Amino acid sequence: MRIDIISIFPDYFAPLDLSLIGRARASGLLDVRVHDLRSWTHDRHNTVDDTPYGGGPGMVMKPEPWGEALDEVVAGAPARLILPTPSGRPFRQADAERLAGEERLVFGCGRYEGIDSRVAADAALRMPVEEVSIGDYVLNGGESATLVMVEAITRLLPGVLGNTESAVQDSFASGGMENLVEGPVYTKPVMWRDQEVPPVLLSGNHGAVDRWRRDQALRKTARNRPDLVGAMPEEALDRRDREV
């Protein structure tokens, strides 16, 4: 997969040189290229913003640098443009799985009060464009949202997670009945500050461990994410779980 990121803060993406994504890039498994939008400005001050038509607070990102940047970065090769924005469609695990199947993604990171709306409209003449929100809160720009989405997407690519991790068992399994959050996890020592590891996990009884883990996940989901429990089909809850 090739990912291009366009931003006025390219250094924001230094974390993509680290850890699993950094290793995947170094091994050639993943091709991530970060571009400074100001490379496509032509004035002395490298201007990327201007006042909003119709008045209002703040500034809006000018369309010209974006148009030239996308023309050069995409360069006719099929790519999907992802534009983080507070007003976008919610980004979910199912979107991460869907986008992990793409050959090329381009992330356009806005700042100020956003990017001139004609940029998305013009790009949509040549490629699929998605305006996406990572949550109902307002960030200062698209960079953090892009880091979140790039991590959620690329961790699903074959070979990116090491042998000790697995995306298969992740919670938020999209589409299946197990719309559950992760339950508690434990490791050595068996006793720590007067807290012992639940004995079932030491029993070697895999059936009992699986049932216990599912029960704990249901309880945690009911406690922290009642919205997910409501969406769970009745048959997914056995009699014991209905007491949660």
Positions marked catalytic: 86, 113, 155, 170
Which CB sits closer to ligand JEW, 66 or 212?
Answer: 66
Which CB sits closer to ligand JEW, 8 or 24?
Answer: 8
CB 50 to ligand JEW: min, Å: 15
Among 133, 171, 174, 216, binds ligand JEW (CB under 6 A): 133
**Is 90 one of the binding residues for ligand JEW (CB under 6 A)?**
no
CB 139 to ligand JEW: min, Å: 4
Which CB sits closer to ligand JEW, 34 or 180?
Answer: 34
Which CB sits closer to ligand JEW, 107 or 212?
Answer: 107
CB 92 to ligand JEW: min, Å: 13
CB 134 to ligand JEW: min, Å: 4
Contacts with ligand JEW, 98-117, as mask; x by CB under 6 A: ------------xxxxx---
CB 48 to ligand JEW: min, Å: 12
Among 52, 63, 67, 86, binds ligand JEW (CB under 6 A): 86
Count, residues near ligand JEW per rule CB under 6 A:
18
Question: Distance (Å, rounded) from C-alpha 209 to C-alpha 233?
Answer: 23
**Is 146 one of the binding residues for ligand JEW (CB under 6 A)?**
no
Among 141, 153, 156, 217, binds ligand JEW (CB under 6 A): 141
Measured CA to CA in angstroms, residue 192 lies from 10, 184, 186, 197, 209 at distances of 43, 15, 11, 8, 21
Using the rule CB under 6 A, give the single segment among 2-10, 78-86, 210-218, 235-243 that binds ligand JEW.
Answer: 78-86
Is residue 150 within 8 A of residue 21, CB to CB? The reply is yes
Tell me, letter by letter, the H, E, C secondary structure of the chain: CEEEEEECCHHHHHHHHCHHHHHHHHCCCCEEEEEEHHHHCCCCCCCCEECCCCCCCCCEECHHHHHHHHHHHHCCCCCEEEEEEEEEEECCHHHHHHHCCCCEEEEECCCCCCECCHHHHHHCCCCCEEEEECCCCCCCCCHHHHHHHHHHHHCCCCCCCCCCCCCCCCCCCCCCCCCCCCCCCCCCCCEECCEECCHHHHCCCHHHHHHHHHHHHHHHHHHHCHHHHHCCCHHHCCCCHHHC
Task: Provide the binding-site residues for ligand JEW, judged by CB under 6 A.
Answer: 84-86, 110-114, 133-135, 137-142, 145
